[in-house]
Amino acid sequence: MATKFDDARDIIGRVASERAERFAQDEDIRALDSVVGRIVKEDINSPISTPTFDAVAISGYAVIAAQVSRATTERPMKLRCMGAMRAGDHPLEVDDRVVDGMVCCVDITVGAAFPIAKSTGRPFDSIVPLEHAEIIQEGGNGRILQICRLPLTSWHKRITGSDFRKGDRIISKGMAIAPKYVMALASVGIRQVSVTRQVRVGIISIGSELQSTAIHPRALQYKIPDANGPFLTAAVREMGEDAEYLGVLPDDSNVLTAFIRDKLAKDQFDVFVTTGGINRSTPCSVMTTIYNLGGNVHFQSIAMQPGGSTMFATLPEPDSVQYKQSPSGFYGSGIYNPNPNMVPTPNASCGPIASACCFRFLVTPYIRALIGMQTECAISAKVALTQSTSVFSRHDRPSPKSNDMVVDGSMNYDTFRHAILRSQVDGVSVEIAKERSPAKASPFASSNCWMHVPRGHVSVGDGDLANIYPFCSPKS
């Protein structure tokens, strides 16, 4: 009997959690410019308060407010420029005496510290914006200005500690580092971060019917191009993990066993994702290979469409791999993953759309749990029935009935459909792709999300709310 989708996800989550603590022990210290998409190993708090000094927030002339408090249109005041400061300059110490009725000022730009008054040792406290000052003399006696209004004494500066305070949380353990966090970390002087290492994923396509196998590299006319392997490799890399496409192998259990045993012995991968061809013999070869390697199968099929013929298993680590005599009569295909003492090996369904679905809803959650990320939540979107949206029956053929049903669900399995998420004036809507064949890549390439119809929901129609997941699991 097929494992329920929710139960399968629980099994995957449990196995990943058992391995996550051990996986997290591997530390990777990375420079800040190379950590986007990586998962932080520990909470990161600000080591300092920022800004570390009162900084100018508007370009103009720094003055002491008390000295220009009487400036009006009727009684303008004159300023003598005593120098200039730019961002990064050490504060000037300025003679702040009023001489010949002229108040001292300093030409200053955004980001600079305030100059220091020599008489008090305190920084200047206000700014006259450039547009509020009129230059009336330039030359031998320096720059002389005239102002007719009071200076800015409040929002003209960024106050010390007004951004981050020492000890403020910037990013929490288990979160993915997005560019916005790089900005925050750099602003407080952090230059390197401890992150979990990338998950090493090996992608293997299986099927003698596929073009360019490792055993027979020459492509023949009636061989089928391998779309699954390159897609799965790209999908893992899009998540920010380390994927290697290991090519196509024939559906021969002896070849598969020798190949995977060699990779296990070299400890090159944390997860294997295998995807079967369309030949009926492939599931048997996969199951036999798992048995040969002493693996543990957690489930052999899932109540989901597409992707029901999916398996999940764990393989022993290199020092415990023992060859076993192959039993007969094993069938299935699927996904394999590791427990604390076993290396994961997922095997997705054979069709390209089924393979993509299995990766998104079975392999992706495993990787997220392994690196310590939280369970992903769905986006709610309203189903929109458009002229390009056909009404479909359970078998993905146009329904003869004139109704608003877009997806026909099931009491027995979870249903997944690739779709198009659009932004509307009143929110977001989702349109189901008109062509839904699990063997066609063109409609999938025109989509941008998945719709999930849980088991027990018999239909989703125009105007209903649906659970939506973007093609790539977000990390930020």
pLDDT of 6 reads 93
Q: What backbone torsions phi and psi does residue 5 show, to the nearest 5 degrees? A: -60, -45
pLDDT of residue 182: 97
Which residue in the block uniquely carries the two structure tokens 């103009």?
Answer: 60
Query: Residue 213: what pLDDT?
Result: 52
Report all structural domains of the chain as residue ranges with CATH numbers, in order of start.
3-26+199-370 (3.40.980.10), 29-50+171-196 (3.90.105.10), 55-158 (2.170.190.11), 379-470 (2.40.340.10)
Q: How far apart are CA 381 and CA 463, in angstroms?
A: 9
Token digits for 224?
């089928």
**What is the distance between the alpha carbons of residues 173 and 434, in angstroms, rounded to a whole number?**
42
CB 210 within 8 A of CB 56: no
> Each residue's pLDDT tens digit in the chain (476 positions)?
889 999 999 999 999 988 888 888 887 899 999 999 888 989 999 999 999 999 999 999 999 999 999 899 899 999 999 999 999 999 999 999 999 889 999 999 999 999 999 999 999 999 999 999 999 988 777 899 999 999 988 888 899 999 999 999 999 988 889 999 999 999 999 999 999 889 999 999 988 777 765 555 555 667 778 888 999 999 999 988 999 999 888 888 899 999 999 998 888 899 999 887 445 555 578 888 888 888 888 988 899 998 888 889 988 876 554 544 332 222 233 444 333 334 444 455 567 888 999 999 999 999 999 988 888 888 888 888 765 555 444 444 444 444 556 777 788 999 999 988 888 777 788 888 667 677 788 888 889 999 999 998 877 777 788 899 999 877 65
- Dihedral of alpha carbons 183, 472, 228, 231, sign: negative
pLDDT of residue 131: 93
- Asked whether the beta carbons of 345 and 268 are under 8 A apart, the reply is no
Residues 6+ apart with CB under 8 A from 11: 3, 298, 299, 312
Residues 6+ apart with CB under 8 A from 74: none
**Do the Cβ atoms of 306 and 331 come closer than 8 Å?**
no
Q: Give the pLDDT score at 216.
A: 57
Cα distances from 118 to residues 40, 64, 92, 102, 322, in angstroms, run: 47, 12, 9, 16, 82
Task: Give pLDDT, residue 217.
Answer: 55
Report residue 242 as tokens: 């380390």
Give the number of other Cβ atoms within 10 Å of residue 40's Cβ.
22
- Strands 449-453, 414-424: pairing is antiparallel
Give the per-residue pLDDT at 327.
29
Would strands 296-299 and 312-316 be described as parallel, antiparallel, or unpaired? antiparallel
Pairing of strands 427-432, 414-424: antiparallel
3-state DSSP assignment of residue 34: helix
Quote the pLDDT of residue 301. 86
pLDDT of residue 310: 86
State the CB neighbour count (10 A cutoff) for residue 373.
18
CA gap 449, 256 in Å, rounded: 33
pLDDT computed for residue 88 by the predictor: 94
Picking from 101, 97, 114, the residue whose alpha carbon sits closest to that of residue 151 is 114
Q: How many Å apart are CA 113 and CA 116, to the nearest integer?
A: 9
Tokens of 389: 């949206």
